[in-house]
A and B are shown apart, each in its own frame.
Chain A
Amino acid sequence: MLSEFDEDQRLWRSTVRDVLAKECTPALVRGAADAAADTGGPGGQRGCENDLYSHPRRHMPLEALWQTYTNLGWTQLVDPSEMVELAILVEELGRATDPTPFLATMTQFVPLAPGVAGAKQSGAALPEGITARRDGDGWLLDGTARHVLDGDRADWLAVVTTEGVFAIPAAQASVTRVPVFDPVLHVAEVALADVRVGGDNLTGADPEKARHQALTGMATTMVGACQRVLDLVIEHVRTRQQFGAPIGSFQAVKHKAADMHVAIERARALAYFAALTIAADDPRRRLAASMAKASAGECQSLVFRHGLQLFGGMGYTWENDLQFALKRAKAGEVLLGTADEHRALIAKENLTLAGVDSRAAHV
C-alpha cells in the first residue's frame, strides 16, 4: 500500500483549492453565518419552517456557489471508485467551511440513491427514524428523522427502512430547520406522514456500504476543518507578540501546535485509507470507515481545545473566522456516531476480521 497522492490527484487537489480560494471565500462564509444569526441570534427564534434563509435558493451567494460546483462537474463524482477524488474535494470543502449542501448530497444521499437526483439537485439522507409499511403494491413511509444534515434544503430525500432504501422528492416531507449553535450548519427534523411510495422509489442501494461513504465523507471534511484551524493558529502565533517575542516561539505553544499536526496527520491517513478501501471495495472498508470517523473525532477534540486556546481572547469573538472551522469540526463529531461509538465498533470489527490471527487483517 502507498499513501502518496499520484500526479493526477495532486493536480486535482490544487485545482479544487484554487476554485475554493476564489469562490468559497471567508467573506462568503461569514455572510451565510451573519444571515442566519440575523434571524434571531443564538438561542433566538431562528429556523422555523418559513425561515427566509433556510433554503439556498433564497440566499443568492450560496446559490451561485452551488452553481459553480455543479458547472465544474463536482456533483458528477458519484461512482464509488472515485471515492479518493471525492475525499480530496470534501477535505478542501471542509477547510473552506463550505456552506452548501454538497457533503450531504454527495456522501450521504447519492450513495443511498445513485442516479436519482439531477446534476444540479441536492439531497439528504434519513438513515433512521422512518418505518415502511406494506400497502397494496406499495408502502407507506412514516415517522420522524431528527438532525438530518441539510434536510431543510434538499430536493430529494433517501429514506433507509427495513423494507429497503426509498428515494422521494423532499416536497413530500414536512421539514423543520432546527436552530443549532453553528450558524453555517443546516440541520432539520424531517417528518413523513404515511407517504405512499411504490417499487419505483426503491433505489436498491446497500445502506451499509452507503454508511461507509457517509462516515468517510464526514471524517474527511472534519480533517479539512481541523487543518484550517491549524493554518489559522500558525499564522496567528507567528505574528502575535507578547513578552517581546512572537508567541509561537514559546515552547508550550509549539508543542500544542505539534500535537495538532500529528493528530491531523493521523486522522488524514485514516480518512484516505477508508476512501481507498471504498474505491477498491476492500473487505476492510467497514473497519476503515469507523477508524476514519473515530480518529477525526479525536483529532477535532484536541484541535478545538488547542486551537481556541492559542488564539487567546481573539478566538472567543464573533469577528474571528476561526469559529467557523472550529464549529464545523466539532459538529461533525456528534453526527453519524461519536468517536467513542466507533471505537467500540473498531475493536469488535478488527477482532472479527482477524479471526484467530489478527495479523491476517493487519496492513
Chain B
Amino acid sequence: MQLTFDDDVEAFRAEFVAFLDANLPSAEEADRPSRSSADVPEWARRWQRLQFDAGWLLPGNPPEFGGRNASILQQYVHLEELSKRRILRSFNPQGVGIIAASLLSFGTPEQKRRWAVPILRAEITAALGMSEPGAGSDLAGLRTRATLDGDHFVVNGQKVWTSGAHDADVILTFVRTDPDASKHKGISVLLIPTDTPGVTRRPFGSIASPDDLDFNEVFFDNARVPAENLVGKLGGGWAVAHGSLGHERTLLWLIFAERLADLLVDFRPVTTLDEDRYATLVMDAHALRWMGSAALAREARGEQDVPALSVLKLFGSEAAQAATEAAFESAGAEALDHPALTGPLSHLSLEAYVSGWFERYARTFSGTIAGGTSEIQRTVIAERVLGLPRG
C-alpha cells in the first residue's frame, strides 16, 4: 500500500505537467466544440496526435502505441493530472479506450498498424457496434448476420445506440457468423468502414435535445467487408466482447472518478442536509479512486478480472448519479437553468460539463445504462465475484 509516490513517479508527473503547460491547446485555438463522441475537431486531433507522438496518450503502452512503458503508479499520476485539470485526452473516447484497446489485445499486427494506430493518432475515429434493437442487455442475442462470400463478409442487419457512428470512420461491429452454433459461439467481430456501400447511419436525439446527436441507428444492407477485417477468430467474438466490455468498464469507471472529482468542486453545499449528501460524495470519490488503483495495478500486470470491474462500474455510476441529484436539488429552482460551474479549460472537457444541473443529472443515466446496466452488473457480481448459481 502506498499513499505518496516515490521520486521517480513525482519526476514523471513533473515532466507531464511541463508537457501540459507547454502544449495545451488554448481557448482561442479551440475554435469549435466536439459534437459527438466520434466528432473530433481539427484542433483536438492535433492535440491527441501530439500526446501520442510524445508518448503521453497512453503512457503505459510502448512508444509505437502512444506510450512510454510507464509503470502503474506513473499511469496513475498521469490520470490524476488530467482529472485535476479536467482535460480530455481524446474526443473519441470509445475509439481510444475501447476499440483501439481491443485491437491491441486481439488484432493482427497489420490491424494494429492499419486501424489502431490511426485511431490513437486521431487520423480516423471509431464507434462501437454492439447493441441492436433486440439485443441490449442480452448482447449475445445479436442477430446482425455476416456471411463469408469469397474474400468478403456480406453483412445484413441493424445496430442501435451506436454512439458517434455518423461521425466515425469505422465501426467495430459484432455480428453473427454462425447461426447454427450456440448463442455465444456464433459471434464474430468485424471492422466495418462507414463508407462501405450498404452502410446507412441515422443519428437521433438524446434526452438532452433533439439536436444532441450522438446515438445512431446503423443499417447494413449487403455491405461487403474484406475478410481481413475480422478481429480475433471466426466465431471468437464473445472473447473479444468480453475484453471490450472490460476496456469499456475501465474507461467508464475512470470517467466516473473524474465526474466525482468535478462534483467535489462544482457542488457547493448550502444546508446541513446538503452537507450530509456532500459527505457521501467525498467518501465515494475517495473510495472509488482507492478501489480503482488496485484494478489499474492488475491491468498493468496484464491480469484480466472483468467481473471485479463491474464493482467499480456499478459503484461509480450510482455514486455519480446520487451526487449529481444532490447538487441538482441543492441548487433549488435555479437548477432548472443554472449553468454548472466549469473549470478553467472547459474546451478540454466534455460538453456535459458545461451544461446545467438538470442536464448533468439526466446524463448520469448513461452511466447506469450503457456498458451493461446496473442490474446486469449486480447479477455479474453475484455470479462471477460471489459465486452464486446462475438461473
Q: How far is the CA of A16 from the CA of B43 in the complex (A)?
A: 57
Of residues 321 through 363 on chain A, the ones whose CB sits less than 8 Å from some CB of chain B are: 340, 342-344, 346-348, 350-351, 354, 357-359, 362-363
Look across to chain B and name the residue whose beta carbon is closest to the beta carbon of A342: B279
- Which residue, of B272, B283, B291, B297, has the highest number of chain A Cβ atoms within 10 A? B283
Give the contacting residue for A257; candidates B279, B283, B388, B391; CB below 8 A.
Answer: B388
Could you tell me if A362 and B261 are in contact, using CB atoms closer than 8 angstroms? yes
| Stretch of B118-126, B154-162, B184-192, B377-385 on the interface side | B377-385
Known pairs A262-B315, A346-B283, A359-B84 / 18 extra A-B pairs, C-beta < 8 Å: A2-B1, A2-B293, A2-B297, A238-B387, A253-B388, A254-B378, A258-B382, A265-B315, A266-B315, A269-B290, A276-B3, A287-B282, A288-B286, A346-B279, A346-B282, A347-B269, A363-B289, A363-B290
- B351 sits at the interface (CB 8 A): no
Of residues 279 through 319 on chain B, the ones whose CB sits less than 8 Å from some CB of chain A are: 279-280, 282-287, 289-291, 293-294, 297, 311, 314-315
Look across to chain B and name the residue whose beta carbon is closest to the beta carbon of A346: B279
Q: Mark A230-268, 1 if CB is under 8 A from B, else 0.
A: 100010011000000110111101110111011001100
| Top 9 closest pairs, chain A to chain B, by CB | A249-B391, A254-B382, A343-B279, A347-B275, A346-B279, A258-B378, A258-B381, A248-B388, A269-B290
Could you tell me if B290 and A1 are in contact, using CB atoms closer than 8 angstroms? yes
Q: Which A residues are within 8 Å of any B CB, using their own CB?
A: 1-6, 9, 84, 230, 234, 237-238, 245-246, 248-251, 253-255, 257-259, 261-262, 265-266, 269-270, 272-273, 276-277, 280, 282, 287-288, 291, 294-295, 340, 342-344, 346-348, 350-351, 354, 357-359, 362-363
- B4 sits at the interface (CB 8 A): yes
- B276 sits at the interface (CB 8 A): yes
Residues of B within 8 A of A350 (CB): 264, 278-279, 282
19 pairs across A/B with beta carbons < 8 Å? A1-B293, A2-B1, A4-B297, A234-B387, A246-B388, A249-B388, A255-B379, A258-B385, A266-B284, A270-B283, A270-B287, A273-B290, A291-B283, A340-B276, A344-B272, A350-B282, A358-B264, A359-B264, A362-B261
Q: How far is the CA of A259 from the CA of B290 in the complex (A)?
A: 18
Tell me the minimal C-beta distance from A340 to chain B in angstroms: 7
Q: How far is the CA of A351 from the CA of B265 in the complex (A)?
A: 10
Q: How many residues of B are counted as interface, with CB atoms below 8 angstroms from the partner's CB atoms?
A: 49
Could you tell me if B261 and A269 are in contact, using CB atoms closer than 8 angstroms? no
Q: How far is the CA of A207 from the CA of B366 in the complex (A)?
A: 46
Q: How far is the CA of A363 from the CA of B83 in the complex (A)?
A: 11
Could you tell me if B391 and A3 are in contact, using CB atoms closer than 8 angstroms? no
- B256 sits at the interface (CB 8 A): no
Residues of B within 8 A of A246 (CB): 388-389, 391
Q: Which B residues are within 8 Å of any A CB, using their own CB?
A: 1-5, 72-73, 76, 80, 84, 261, 264-265, 269, 272, 275-276, 278-280, 282-287, 289-291, 293-294, 297, 311, 314-315, 375, 377-379, 381-383, 385-391
Q: How far is the CA of A194 from the CA of B227 in the complex (A)?
A: 91
Question: Contacts A2-B297, A4-B294, A343-B280; is A359 near B261 (CB within 8 Å)?
Answer: yes
Q: How far is the CA of A1 from the CA of B293 in the complex (A)?
A: 7
Question: Contacts A258-B379, A258-B386, A276-B1; is A270 near B290 (CB within 8 Å)?
Answer: yes
Tell me the minimal C-beta distance from A274 to chain B in angstroms: 10
Give the contacting residue for A259; candidates B283, B293, B378; CB below 8 A.
Answer: B378
Residues of A within 8 A of B84 (CB): 359, 362
How many Cβ-Cβ contacts under 8 Å join chain A to chain B? 165
Tell me the minimal C-beta distance from B167 to chain A in angstroms: 32
Q: How far is the CA of A266 from the CA of B292 in the complex (A)?
A: 11
Look across to chain B and name the residue whose beta carbon is closest to the beta carbon of A84: B1
Residues of B within 8 A of A261 (CB): 311, 381, 385-386
Main secondary structure of the interface of A (DSSP, over half): helix
Tell me the minimal C-beta distance from B1 to chain A in angstroms: 5
Q: How far is the CA of A348 from the CA of B272 in the complex (A)?
A: 10
Look across to chain B and name the residue whose beta carbon is closest to the beta carbon of A277: B3
Residues of A within 8 A of B377 (CB): 258
Could you tell me if B278 and A347 are in contact, using CB atoms closer than 8 angstroms? yes
Could you tell me if A291 and B282 are in contact, using CB atoms closer than 8 angstroms? yes
Residues of A within 8 A of B80 (CB): 363
Could you tell me if A344 and B275 are in contact, using CB atoms closer than 8 angstroms? yes
Look across to chain B and name the residue whose beta carbon is closest to the beta carbon of A350: B282
Question: Contacts A255-B382, A262-B381; is A272 near B1 (CB within 8 Å)?
Answer: yes
Tell me the minimal C-beta distance from B306 to chain A in angstroms: 15
Residues of A within 8 A of B72 (CB): 2
Residues of B within 8 A of A340 (CB): 276
Look across to chain B and name the residue whose beta carbon is closest to the beta carbon of A246: B389
Could you tell me if B387 and A255 are in contact, using CB atoms closer than 8 angstroms? no
Residues of B within 8 A of A354 (CB): 264
Residues of A within 8 A of B272 (CB): 344
Tell me the minimal C-beta distance from B33 to chain A in angstroms: 23
Look across to chain B and name the residue whose beta carbon is closest to the beta carbon of A280: B3
Residues of B within 8 A of A357 (CB): 265
Residues of A within 8 A of B286 (CB): 269-270, 273, 288, 291, 363
Tell me the minimal C-beta distance from A10 to chain B in angstroms: 11
Question: Contacts A2-B73, A3-B294; is A254 near B279 (CB within 8 Å)?
Answer: no
Q: How far is the CA of A234 from the CA of B5 in the complex (A)?
A: 38
Residues of B within 8 A of A294 (CB): 279, 283
Question: Contacts A2-B72, A343-B280, A346-B283; is A265 near B291 (CB within 8 Å)?
Answer: yes
Residues of B within 8 A of A295 (CB): 283, 287
Q: How far is the CA of A258 from the CA of B293 in the complex (A)?
A: 21
- Which residue, of B269, B275, B297, B382, has the highest number of chain A Cβ atoms within 10 A? B382
Residues of A within 8 A of B388 (CB): 234, 237-238, 246, 248-249, 253-254, 257
Look across to chain B and name the residue whose beta carbon is closest to the beta carbon of A260: B386
Q: How far is the CA of A340 from the CA of B273 in the complex (A)?
A: 11
Q: How far is the CA of A248 from the CA of B386 in the complex (A)?
A: 10
Q: How far is the CA of A251 from the CA of B390 in the complex (A)?
A: 9
Q: How far is the CA of A294 from the CA of B280 in the complex (A)?
A: 9
Q: How far is the CA of A254 from the CA of B382 in the complex (A)?
A: 5
Question: Contacts A4-B1, A249-B388, A269-B287; is A262 near B276 (CB within 8 Å)?
Answer: no
Tell me the minimal C-beta distance from A104 to chain B in angstroms: 25
Q: How far is the CA of A362 from the CA of B289 in the complex (A)?
A: 10
Question: Contacts A344-B275, A358-B264, A359-B265; is A234 near B297 (CB within 8 Å)?
Answer: no
Look across to chain A and name the residue whose beta carbon is closest to the beta carbon of B275: A347
Q: How far is the CA of A291 from the CA of B282 in the complex (A)?
A: 8
Residues of B within 8 A of A254 (CB): 378-379, 382-383, 388
Residues of A within 8 A of B264 (CB): 350, 354, 358-359, 362
Q: How far is the CA of A269 from the CA of B379 in the complex (A)?
A: 22
Q: How far is the CA of A59 from the CA of B375 in the complex (A)?
A: 49
Could you tell me if A262 and B382 are in contact, using CB atoms closer than 8 angstroms? no
